């Protein structure tokens, strides 16, 4: 830009110079002409007066007098040569300054003098003046001509002076007008400078720039166009930024933004020796709630969760005075959120925040007039110790979260290096489990359920086992969870159901009318067409429905009661029985329980195990038994291992029991043998 001002200034300077020079030259030329005429006139006058003085002397041919006179005149006029010619144009007298040039001059004198006989003649050659003046006698007779040749030195001097003056004037004009021109050009170009500056600023820094130009000309129009362009670009950039870095459902930062921020913060922590944490938050039960609410309400719920998480984190920042480096909550997608705590004192700080988050999510959410209960499983990775880059930190926090979830959810768990190993093992396990289903490595064991009063077999629970090629016989604890997580549980569950129905049908054919109970996992139960697949399994095995009992855990049964009723009712209508498994661990609402279509409560073995020593467990068992009695439901006490437990249960009115005391889960053949010995057919109505 500076160069543009410079260019314009130089151009204006050149113009000023040229114009001044031209004007001064014009003026000087006329002055010069005047000077020249004046000089010519003066010399003509001198020569004319000499001519009138000498006219008579010419006639009298007084050479001596004329010669002396002309020599004096030559000196007075400063002429080079003066000649006198007679009326026949013959050289009469000559007065020479430089005899060497005499020949030439003489010739031109004759030439000039002959030209206009009787007239005054002059000729200017450069600065050399040739003058010829006629001399008339008092009788007005031409007696001769005086010719002079002289250098007009004054003319040269005046010409030199003129050039000097011109240059001085032009320089003066430049000196005065150039700064003025620079000022004016600078002022005229200032809006362009402003525009350029704004464009440069906008291209390198921020588009929030506004150009203020009020010149009322095209530049103002241009500036306004720039402003509109910046505003539009800015809007578009912000929109792009929002799409790239903001989660549209919750308006929280998204995964990418969280990743970037974690990267920055983790690097800073390494450099400045700080401690921070990444919290991976996964909601418990969200999928079910979302399915029952519908997508729109589900999104609103996520928004509420996001807000609640943000509030808690902000509150913790405030309490710990961390406002300079605030924590960030982001949504990764689905029901997964994350929190980044950039600077904490120690891991206990992170634990405090994580526990507060767990507590906050546990409080009910009010949505569509309903109260909705969620939980949050949180994994915590502390940096730099658990990782220095966002990928590692998030993976480790995720692993820790999975542990928290597996341990029952609604809790926080710190990452531990062994989790990496177990995650790998889990991967191997999942792959092997896929093979196991294909290679028919699964078997079903049966555990007897007995009547308390006489120990006779009243039923059998089908429990799956995996005959692992190298690890031996694995119980479901080792693989059911993995099967649930990788989606194989539905396939396994289906297989167990069909197998159990077939085997129950075959022991029925052998005369043992023993009902079989099959465990149903949440995922299997949730599937469309579950009821139909059960009916088909019964039909294919030719097993009467009343000989099948399906066990649902209390948490599955209570999570979405409407859905349970929908799935259970058609099967119950056919005669299939339903049991709530592990009852007492899910803190079910009693109001719901009375409405639920269940036939059997299976009291969780933790209460049975502790009831002889822990009064609280005993009260729980008592309460469940009393409640079941009033609801006219059957109860099965699970995990009865000692006679003491059995006596106590009997005294409290338990009717059925299952446990190692009566028989461990066993293969089909062994169960058949055991049942043939112990089976006592129950009388109708018993
Ligand atoms: P569950 O349905 O509560 O089954 C009872 C569990 O308690 C069985 O463990 C059984 O071996 C064990 N048990 C029975 N009596 C006693 C006792 O006196 N003392 C002790 N300590 N344990 C006793 P198991 O076979 O390891 O099964 C564990 C859980 O795996 C089952 O709990 C059930 O929830 C699940 N499961 C088993 N088979 C299947 C299946 O085919 N499908 C699904 N979805 N889950 C299954
Ligand atoms: Mg069970
Ligand atoms: Mg159980």
Helix (H, G, I), strand (E, B) or coil at 597: coil
**Maximal CA-CA distance, the chain:** 194
The residue to which tokens 């002959």 are assigned: 114
* Nearest ligand to residue 520 Cα: 1
Residue 21 in any domain: the answer is yes
Residue 114 in any domain: the answer is yes
Whole-Å CA distances, 454 to 348, 497, 652, 670: 56, 29, 16, 21
Residue of the nearest CA to atom 25 in ligand 1?
A: 463
The verdict on 578 and 618 lying in the same domain is yes
d(CA 194, CA 187): 11
> Other C-beta atoms within 10 Å of 574: how many?
15
Q: Which atom of ligand 1 is nearest to the CA of 463?
A: 38
- Three-state SS for 311-365 is HHHHHHHHHCCCCCCCCEEEEEECCEEEEEECCCCCHHHHHHHHHHHHHHHHCCE
Query: Is pLDDT above 60 for 1?
Result: no
Query: Is pLDDT above 70 for 109?
Result: no
Whole-Å CA distances, 507 to 3, 146, 368, 671, 682: 104, 169, 51, 10, 16
- How many domains are there within the chain? 4
CATH number of the domain that 536 lies in?
3.20.20.450
**683: pLDDT confidence band, cut at 50, 70 and 90?**
very low
d(CA 547, CA 576): 7
- Residue 656 Cα to ligand 3 middle (Å): 14
Residue of the nearest CA to atom 12 in ligand 1?
A: 639
Looking at residue 681, the DSSP 8-state letter turns out to be P
- Residue 581 Cα to ligand 2 middle (Å): 6
Instruction: Summarize the confidence of residues 198-204 as an average pLDDT.
Output: 80
Reported as a single tens digit per residue, the pLDDT across 340-354 is: 999 999 999 999 999
Joined together, the tokens standing for residue 34 give 């005047």
Q: Which atom of ligand 1 is nearest to the CA of 640?
A: 18
Q: Which among 77, 113, 74, 75 is positioned nearest to 92, based on CA atoms?
A: 113
Alpha helix segments (H runs only) across 150-254: 153-204, 218-245
Q: Which atom of ligand 1 is nearest to the CA of 641?
A: 18
What's the confidence (pLDDT) of residue 363? 94
Among 114, 136, 158, the domain-final residue is 158
d(CA 492, CA 518): 12
Residue 186 in any domain: the answer is no
Whole-Å CA distances, 9 to 175, 183, 407, 596: 13, 9, 82, 95
Range of the domain at 73: 2-158
Residue of the nearest CA to atom 3 in ligand 1?
A: 582
Instruction: Summarize the confidence of residues 405-414 as an average pLDDT.
Output: 90
- Residue 564 Cα to ligand 2 middle (Å): 17
Mutation to probe ligand 1, out of 450, 478, 480 (largest number of atoms < 8 A from CB): 480
d(CA 385, CA 355): 21
Helix (H, G, I), strand (E, B) or coil at 112: helix
CATH number of the domain that 129 lies in?
3.30.450.20
Say if CB 341 and CB 349 are below 8 A apart: yes
The verdict on 231 and 268 lying in the same domain is no
- Residue 464 Cα to ligand 2 middle (Å): 10
Residue 142 in any domain: the answer is yes
Query: Is pLDDT above 60 for 682?
Result: no
Mutation to probe ligand 1, out of 463, 517, 638 (largest number of atoms < 8 A from CB): 463
The verdict on 373 and 474 lying in the same domain is no
Whole-Å CA distances, 579 to 313, 457, 597, 613: 42, 17, 9, 27
The verdict on 496 and 585 lying in the same domain is yes
Reported as a single tens digit per residue, the pLDDT across 178-196 is: 888 788 888 878 888 888 8
- Residue 605 Cα to ligand 3 middle (Å): 7
Query: Is pLDDT above 90 for 594?
Result: no
The verdict on 444 and 577 lying in the same domain is yes
* Nearest ligand to residue 447 Cα: 1
Residue 476 in any domain: the answer is yes
* Nearest ligand to residue 463 Cα: 1
Residues with Cβ < 8 Å from 651, sequence gap 6 or more?
Answer: none
> Other C-beta atoms within 10 Å of 121: how many?
19
Is residue 458 within a helix (H) or strand (E), and if so which, with residue range?
strand 457-468
Q: Which among 246, 267, 248 is positioned nearest to 258, based on CA atoms?
A: 246
The verdict on 618 and 500 lying in the same domain is yes
Instruction: Summarize the confidence of residues 22-26 as an average pLDDT.
Output: 82
Reported as a single tens digit per residue, the pLDDT across 376-400 is: 999 999 999 999 999 999 999 999 9
Helix (H, G, I), strand (E, B) or coil at 279: strand
- Residue 451 Cα to ligand 3 middle (Å): 17
- Residue 678 Cα to ligand 1 middle (Å): 22
The verdict on 410 and 444 lying in the same domain is no
**358: pLDDT confidence band, cut at 50, 70 and 90?**
very high
Instruction: Summarize the confidence of residues 478-487 as an average pLDDT.
Output: 86
Mutation to probe ligand 1, out of 436, 476, 643 (largest number of atoms < 8 A from CB): 476
The verdict on 517 and 553 lying in the same domain is yes
- Residue 250 Cα to ligand 1 middle (Å): 41
* Backbone phi and psi for residue 614, each to the nearest 5 degrees, phi listed first: -110, 115
Q: Which atom of ligand 1 is nearest to the CA of 602?
A: 3
Residue 188 in any domain: the answer is no
d(CA 114, CA 600): 159
What's the confidence (pLDDT) of residue 97? 61
Instruction: Summarize the confidence of residues 50-65 as an average pLDDT.
Output: 83
Query: Which residues have any ligand 1 atom within 6 Å of their CB?
Result: 447, 463-464, 475-477, 480, 493, 496, 519, 521, 551, 581-582, 605, 638-641, 658-660, 665
The verdict on 561 and 462 lying in the same domain is yes
Residue 198 in any domain: the answer is no
Mutation to probe ligand 1, out of 437, 488, 519, 604 (largest number of atoms < 8 A from CB): 519
Looking at residue 456, the DSSP 8-state letter turns out to be -
What's the confidence (pLDDT) of residue 450? 96
d(CA 549, CA 537): 13
Residue 125 in any domain: the answer is yes
Residue 144: strand pairing partners? 86, 135
* Backbone phi and psi for residue 645, each to the nearest 5 degrees, phi listed first: -65, -45
Reported as a single tens digit per residue, the pLDDT across 213-268 is: 888 888 888 888 888 888 888 888 888 877 788 999 999 999 999 999 999 999 99
The verdict on 452 and 371 lying in the same domain is no
Whole-Å CA distances, 36 to 149, 168, 505: 15, 23, 147
In the β-sheet with 91-96, what is the strand arrangement from edge to edge? 91-96, 81-86, 142-151, 128-136, 121-125
What's the confidence (pLDDT) of residue 686? 43
Say if CB 75 and CB 103 are below 8 A apart: no
What's the confidence (pLDDT) of residue 681? 59
Whole-Å CA distances, 484 to 411, 446, 469, 499: 20, 22, 21, 19
Q: What is the DSSP string of 24-39?
A: HHHHHHHHHHHHHHHH
Reported as a single tens digit per residue, the pLDDT across 429-458 is: 888 998 898 899 999 999 999 999 888 999
Q: What is the mean pLDDT of the chain?
A: 87
The verdict on 565 and 464 lying in the same domain is yes
d(CA 146, CA 276): 119
Q: How many CA atoms lie within 13 A of 318 on its CB side?
A: 6
**332: pLDDT confidence band, cut at 50, 70 and 90?**
very high
The verdict on 578 and 480 lying in the same domain is yes
Strands 91-96 and 81-86: antiparallel
- Of 519 and 86, the structure prediction assigns the larger pLDDT to 519
Q: Which among 621, 614, 651 is positioned nearest to 636, based on CA atoms?
A: 621
């Amino acid at each position: 830009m500076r160069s543009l001002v410079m260019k314009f200034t130089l151009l204006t300077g050149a113009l000023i110079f040229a114009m001044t020079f031209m004007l001064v030259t014009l003026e000087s030329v006329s002055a010069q002409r005047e000077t020249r005429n004046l000089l010519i006139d003066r010399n003509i006058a001198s020569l004319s007066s000499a001519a009138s003085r000498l006219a008579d002397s010419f006639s009298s041919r007084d050479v001596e007098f004329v010669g002396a006179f002309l020599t004096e005149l030559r000196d007075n006029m400063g002429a080079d040569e003066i000649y006198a010619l007679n009326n026949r144009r013959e050289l009469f007298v000559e007065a020479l300054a430089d005899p060497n040039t005499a020949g030439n001059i003489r010739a031109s004198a004759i030439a000039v003098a002959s030209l206009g006989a009787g007239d005054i003649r002059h000729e200017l050659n450069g600065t050399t003046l040739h003058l010829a003046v006629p001399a008339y006698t008092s009788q007005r007779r031409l007696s001769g001509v005086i010719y002079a040749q002289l250098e007009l030195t004054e003319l040269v001097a005046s010409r030199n002076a003129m050039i000097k003056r011109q240059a001085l004037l032009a320089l003066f004009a430049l000196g005065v007008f150039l700064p003025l021109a620079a000022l004016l050009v600078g002022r005229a170009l200032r809006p362009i400078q402003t525009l350029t500056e704004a464009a440069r600023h906008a291209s390198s820094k921020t588009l929030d720039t506004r150009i203020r130009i009020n010149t009322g000309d095209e530049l103002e129009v241009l500036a306004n166009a720039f402003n509109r362009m910046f505003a539009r670009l800015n809007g578009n950039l912000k929109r792009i930024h929002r799409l790239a870095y903001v989660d549209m459902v919750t308006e929280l930062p998204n995964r990418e933004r969280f990743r970037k921020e974690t990267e920055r913060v983790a690097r800073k922590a390494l450099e400045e020796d700080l401690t921070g944490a990444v919290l991976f938050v996964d909601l418990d039960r969200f999928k079910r709630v979302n399915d029952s609410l519908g997508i729109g309400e589900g999104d609103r719920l996520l928004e509420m969760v996001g807000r609640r998480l943000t509030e808690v984190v902000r509150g913790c920042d405030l309490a710990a005075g961390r406002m300079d480096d605030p924590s960030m909550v982001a949504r990764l997608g689905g029901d997964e959120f994350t929190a980044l705590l950039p600077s904490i004192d120690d891991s206990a700080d992170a634990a405090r925040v994580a526990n507060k988050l767990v507590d906050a999510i546990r409080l009910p959410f009010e949505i569509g007039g309903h109260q909705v209960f969620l939980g949050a499983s949180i994994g915590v990775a502390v940096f730099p110790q658990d990782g220095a880059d966002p990928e590692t930190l998030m993976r480790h926090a995720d692993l820790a979260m999975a542990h928290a979830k597996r341990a029952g959810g609604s809790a926080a768990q710190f990452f531990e290096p062994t989790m990496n190993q177990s995650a790998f093992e889990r991967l191997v396990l999942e792959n092997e489990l896929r093979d196991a289903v294909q290679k028919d490595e699964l078997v079903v064991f049966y555990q007897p359920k007995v009547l308390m009063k006489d120990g006779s077999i009243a039923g059998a629970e089908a429990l799956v086992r995996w005959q692992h090629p190298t690890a031996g016989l694995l119980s479901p604890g080792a693989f059911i969870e993995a099967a649930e997580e990788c989606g194989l549980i539905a396939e396994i569950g289906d297989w167990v159901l069909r197998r159990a129905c077939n085997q129950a049908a075959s022991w029925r054919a052998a005369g043992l009318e023993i009902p079989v109970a099959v465990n149903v996992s949440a995922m299997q139960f949730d599937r469309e067409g579950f009821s139909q697949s059960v009916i088909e399994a019964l039909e294919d095995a030719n097993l009467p429905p009343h000989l099948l009992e399906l066990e649902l855990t209390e948490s599955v049964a209570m999570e979405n009661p409407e859905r349970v009723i929908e799935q259970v009712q058609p099967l119950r209508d056919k005669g299939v029985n339903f049991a709530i498994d592990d009852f007492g661990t899910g803190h079910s609402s009693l109001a719901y329980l009375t409405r639920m279509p269940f036939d059997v409560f299976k009291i969780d073995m933790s209460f049975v195990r502790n009831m002889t020593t822990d009064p609280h467990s005993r009260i729980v068992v008592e309460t469940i038994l009393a409640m079941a009695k009033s609801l006219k439901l059957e109860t099965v006490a699970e995990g009865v291992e000692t006679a003491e437990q059995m006596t106590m249960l009997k005294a409290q009115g338990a009717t059925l029991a299952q446990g190692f005391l009566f028989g461990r889960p066993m293969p089909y053949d062994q169960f058949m043998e055991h049942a043939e010995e112990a089976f006592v057919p129950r009388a109708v109505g018993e």
